[in-house]
Amino acid sequence: MARILIVEDEIVAALMIRAFLEHSEHTVVGSVTSGTEAVRLAAETQPDLVLMDISLEGGLDGIAAATQIHEQLGIPIIYLTANAEDQTLQRAVATEPFGYLVKPFNQVGLHTTINIALRRYQLEQQLEQAEQWLATTLASIGDGTIATDEYGCITFMNAVAEHLTGWQQSEALGASAELVLRLIHAETRETIENPLLQAIRQGASVSISEHCLLQTKNGLERAIGDTAAPIRNDKGEITGGVLIFQDVTERRQAEALLHRRQEEFRALVENSPDIVVRFDREFRHVYVNPAVEVATGIAVEAFIGRTNAEMGMPTELVESWRETLQAVLDTSQEQIIEFQFSTPSGLRVYQARIVPEFSQDGSVDFLLCVSRDITEYKRAEALLRQQAERERLLVAIAQRVRQSLELDEILNTTVTEVRQLLQTDRVIIYRFEPDWSGFVIVESVGDGWIPMLGRRLFDPCLAMADCLIPYANGNISSIDDLENAGLAECYVGLLRQFQVKANLVIPVLLPPSQVNRNEDGLGHLWGLLAVQQCAAPRQWDELEIDLLKKLSAQVAVAIHQSYLYQQTQQQARQEQALSRVIQAIRNSLDLTTIFQTAVMEMGSLLQVEQANILQYLPEQGVWVHQASYRQSPDLAPVGLDVVGLEIPDEGNPITARLKQLEIVRLDDASTIAHEMTQILAQTFPGAWLAVPLQMNGAVWGNITLIHGPEPFVWQDWQIELTRAVGDQLAIAIQQSQLYQQVQQLNARLEEQVQERTLLLQQAFSFEATLKRIAERVRDSLDEDQILRAVVEELAVTLAISRCSVAVYDLPQRAVNVRYEYTTAVESLQGRLIPMSQFPEVYQQLLEGQHFQYCNVDARPIQEHVVRLACPIVDDQSVLGDLRLVNYAGYVFSEQEVRLVQQVANQCAIALRQSRLYQAAQAQVDELERLNQLKDDFVSTVSHELRTPMSSIRMAIQMLEVVLLQTEDGRSRNAADPSSLVLQPESFQRAARYVQVLRDECQRETMLIDDLLDLSRLEHQAEPLNPSTRDLQVWLAPLLAPFVDRLSSQQQRLETRVAVPLPPLTTDYSYLERILNELLQNACKYTPAGETIVVSLQSVERSSTLARSHIQISVSNSGVEIAADELNRVFDKFYRIPSLNPWQHRGTGLGLALVKRLIEPLRGVVEASSADGWTTFTVRIPLEFDEQESG
């Protein structure tokens, strides 16, 4: 769409051009008649195009004005003229117009010329921008650029090319490329064929020779390089060539210097005793000196172009080198690495220093490595250090054994210092169990390796006598390389899962009296001291083995001493604890006291984290904690009170064994596979011991001990002590049960007597309550009074905290809480609750069922209550419900439920009686209202029918006067037609009376038509006649008849159209009638001096709107309708009580007709009134659906 300025001094021609452009995509920004005004208005409005008449009024004609506009503003011009003189046309052509129209012209010619001019202007602008961009790019490029035509004559050269050749572009333009670009060979000094001319001749790109020199205009020589290429047009024809080149003199000098330095470096390192290697960025050998061949026995040529991995070097060595080389690349910092390498003379230790070699841009191109053999130095250093450390370790451990009886401290210190001394990855002490499985009881392990501490390990190969006997005889097991040792697969798999590559095992042997396995000859084998290498295989030397044998002997002494001391202490504590438990049983029949004493004594004696007594409840399928002891209460999980905690029995493998009266011993609870027990193991980690408590051959419960948080091996004496305490507790439980049985029998007899008495009293109270409620129902028809009495009587009689009665609105699926008696602060009385909020409750009530329930998801503590819901039902439907609330845990008795049902029946009777009475009253009121409407309608119609008739009668009388009266005032004979002569001066009066007759007939006809239309719309539907129109065009003639009327009534009319408006498809006869009625209504009720506003806008479809529609609003100021009257203004014959029905003529049918007319169009009409304005809004869907409208 273009903005066009018209410059035309002929008014008719200007109007014709405007008319041609009125319905086009273009807009007219202005029209002037002189050249001076054209220049001024063009500067102000900045149009896209100017239509300029050549011959204009004033001193500035069209051609001169067009020249100024085009030069100053760059706006395209189209000339309009009837002048065909050659001189005038030549002047016009000289201004380079974008079009020329000779008058007269038609609309098609005008549009075509405008579109061609706009398109040409757009293309010229794009071409100019492209030329500017190309010139800027070529001028700013860093390389020299020269372009020629197809004959090799220079047409362009940038600043860089001027500098390199010594020629200025002004000098070179048109000159031959051979003259400006004189190229010679650097070595032979012979002339080289010009690559630019060669590219044009061959039609392909040509690269500049490597030894090419450019002789500049002032005699200098420059080494240049790059390419020349032909230039082709869109048909593929060669139209010239282009050469891109740069000065490469410094680059070639740098390359020569680099070559010399490389030769010097090669001479320097060829005879070095150290190994010198150069790697590229892919870690391939690009250079190795002869020292490599001496060290490895591999020829130098074999290394070139290959990586360490491709040379077959060990994987770990390759990986170590790769990580170090990568670190140099990443950090650009030198690295030092020590490594071992197998040479023809044996395993050697080297120290390598790796430094980066940088390129010109600062990146690392190569890595230079110098490696030196430090084997002898390392060997001497290691021997001296190991000897000193071994002596120190042996003395320290022997000293601790003599001074301490803390076995855990001695063993942990031993493994830690052995690992540090031998520089291994892991050192463990492994203790055998009776089945020759065992635990890793202490461990020292390096970072990154899988820990073994606390793991129960069992290897069938290790448990075989053939494997254990060598250990029992004091033999060791030394494995340098696990994968190549020829061991059993099960043993290899066991070690492999802990990443072991080399393993050295020393037996720990005790005197036979300390263990009970002498029958198989292995009794003195207590465990194993193992030293493991995980990173790589390792060869164990004799000094290391001798050290570990001595340490094993010291460990055996420490274990022997610790056993003797522990046995003495444990025996004394066992006897004391058992004595205290027996004394507590004798002194009390309270199981809580007895249980708490037992767990405290056992927990303190055995130094366990927890000691618990649980009771098994078969009916509930749970084990309940009755007593608990915690060694560290502060470490317990937050919010977890163990006493009373229930553990499910179903599917529990531990409780299943307890019910079989088996002792359950778990040295590591984390090994349990059962999901539920795993959760407990995570909460209470460590070792578990569960001993059943039995009564009469069946399990009563169990004693559970938890030693945490680490795994632990239960000793036999600990199990025996727990079993003994359990036997004493069984006696206490039996005594307590006998005493409780006697107490319960006495209490039960007393409770039965009290319950019987209460039931009788309750029955009498319920009967009295029901009688009072029945009397209230019979004595009153007030629904609220009856419901209130029912709620209060039930709440007081049943002593409940809350009682409410609700009435259902079944069509709306809602519940109205009519009355509530409550002791709480918050009340639900008066609330409207959707049934969908509690579907499970109201589904049963609507089926006529009563039930008790509680809210399982109640959040505040006050909502933990029990509720009784009872429906109020008559013979037709469910009318409502009674709701009673009591404290949590309460259960309404059968007698209470029966009372509530009887009360609900009384409520149903009361509601039905009240509603029948209300329905009768409503019918009486409706009949009175209809009678009033009938009277109002008869009065209104009578007034509306009589008023036009009175006017007609008076007009007839006055017309008779005009026709029958003579000039002297006498009357003529009406029976004589010849006497009826109309005098000339009476024509105006007669015409006025005829107009009155016509107006009043029209008014009478409209009234009758309104009545007939309303009747037709209510009883039958007519087929619609839809059409599509532009609403702006449609609206103007519709409003025209109201302009004079509004002016005569001193009212203002405003039209507000929100453009653009889409075309609307509908039945416009209906729509015109609707808008006419709304405007008639607005004219009728708008006071003088006030405003009527007609608004049109389009409302698009949205997430809250199902379809797009047109919204038409008619608003008038100065009058306001009360909110309670707005819903009734569309009723037939309805008049607003606050308005005088005789001041504003009408039948009250106009808005009712609007309401009926909008329905076939699938639209809506709404009324609103506020702040002194009243608005009627009509919404009609844009998408007309004939089937839906039909």
Q: Are residues 263 and 243 part of one domain?
A: no
| 1090: Cβ contacts below 8 Å, ≥ 6 apart | 1051, 1052, 1116, 1117, 1118, 1119
Specify whether 483 is located in the same domain as 532. yes
DSSP 483: G
Question: In the numeric block, which tokens belong to residue 562?
Answer: 């610790």
In-domain check, residue 577: no
1015 and 1038 together in one domain: no
**1138 band by pLDDT with thresholds 50, 70 and 90:** low
Answer yes or no: do 636 and 728 share one domain. Answer: yes
Mean pLDDT of 348-376: 89
Chain centroid offset of residue 107 CA:
58
Higher pLDDT, 1099 or 945: 1099
Q: How far is the C-alpha of 220 from the C-alpha of 212, rounded, in Å?
A: 13
Q: Mean pLDDT throughout 1114-1127?
A: 87
pLDDT digits (tens, 9 = 90+) for 870-929: 999 888 888 899 998 888 778 888 888 888 888 888 888 888 888 788 888 888 887 887
pLDDT band at residue 445 using 50, 70 and 90 as cut-offs = very high
* Average pLDDT over every residue of 156-161: 86
Shared-domain flag, residues 1025 and 1001: no
Domain endpoint, select from 1020, 1049, 1073: 1020
Structural domain harbouring 88? 3-133
The reply to whether 23 falls in a domain is yes
User: What is residue 502's predicted lDDT score, i.e. its pLDDT?
Assistant: 93
Cα dihedral 187, 188, 193, 196, rounded to 10, equals 10
389 has a pLDDT exceeding 60: yes
Residue predicted with more confidence, 213 or 987: 213
Quote the DSSP letter at residue 965.
B
Q: What is the pLDDT of residue 500?
A: 92
Q: How many residues appear in the chain?
A: 1190
Residue 347 falls within a domain, yes or no? yes
Q: Which CATH number does the domain housing residue 272 bear? A: 3.30.450.20
User: Does 1111 lie in the same domain as 999?
Assistant: no
83 and 154 both lie in a single domain: no
- The per-residue pLDDT for range 399-421, each reduced to its tens digit, is 766 666 677 888 888 888 888 88
Confirm whether 845 is domain-assigned: no
**pLDDT class of 1141 with cuts at 50, 70, 90:** very low
pLDDT value of residue 989:
75
What is the per-residue pLDDT for 690?
Answer: 92
Range of weakest confidence among 338-347, 457-466, 887-896: 457-466
Distance CA 91, CA 62 (A): 11
Q: Is the pLDDT of residue 517 over 60?
A: no
854 in a domain, yes or no?
Answer: no
Strand partners, 1164: 1179
pLDDT at 1165: 92
- Residue 743: is its pLDDT beyond 70? yes
Average pLDDT value over all residues in the chain: 82
Q: Is the pLDDT of residue 973 over 70?
A: no
Percent of the chain with pLDDT over 70: 87
Same domain, 1012 and 1028: no
Write the single-letter amino acid at 908: A
CATH code: domain of residue 1149? 3.30.565.10
What is the band of 970 on the pLDDT scale with cuts at 50, 70, 90?
low
Say how many domains are in the chain: 7
What is the Cα–Cα distance from 374 to 377, expressed in whole angstroms? Answer: 5
pLDDT of residue 945: 67
Q: Looking at residue 612, what is its pLDDT?
A: 93
Ranges 98-102, 314-318, 571-575, 714-718, most confident: 314-318
Q: How confident is the model at residue 1144 (pLDDT cuts 50, 70, 90)?
A: low
- Predicted local confidence at residue 553, as pLDDT: 82
Of 373, 405, 422, the residue at which a domain comes to its end is 373
Q: What span, in angstroms and rounded, lies between the C-alpha atoms of 913 and 776? A: 13
If asked whether residues 565 and 595 sit together in one domain, one would say no
Mean pLDDT check: name the lowest of 17-26, 174-183, 804-813: 17-26
CATH number for 117: 3.40.50.2300
Residues 405 and 525 both lie in one domain: yes
Q: Does residue 752 form part of some domain? A: no
Mean pLDDT for 220-229 is 84
Q: What is the CATH number of the domain that holds 415?
A: 3.30.450.40
Residue 337 CB neighbours (<10 A): 17
Query: Distance of alpha carbon 984 from its chain centroid, rounded?
Result: 91
Residues 330 and 471 occupy one common structural domain: no
Q: Is residue 852 situated within a structural domain?
A: no
Lowest mean pLDDT among 4-18, 201-215, 556-570: 556-570
- Check: pTM over 0.85? Answer yes or no: no
Q: Please report which confidence band the pLDDT of residue 613 belongs to, taking 50, 70 and 90 as the band edges.
A: very high
Residue 636 confidence (pLDDT) above 60: no
**DSSP class of residue 78?**
E
Same domain, 789 and 931: yes
Split at pLDDT 50, 70, 90, the class of 638 is very low
Give pLDDT, residue 918.
81
Q: Give the span between the Cα atoms of 224 and 207, in whole angstroms.
A: 11
Instruction: With respect to residue 1116, please indicate whether it lies within any of the assigned structural domains.
Output: yes
Rounded to 10 deg, the angle between the 783-798 and 894-964 helix axes is: 160
**End of a domain among 225, 247, 269?**
247
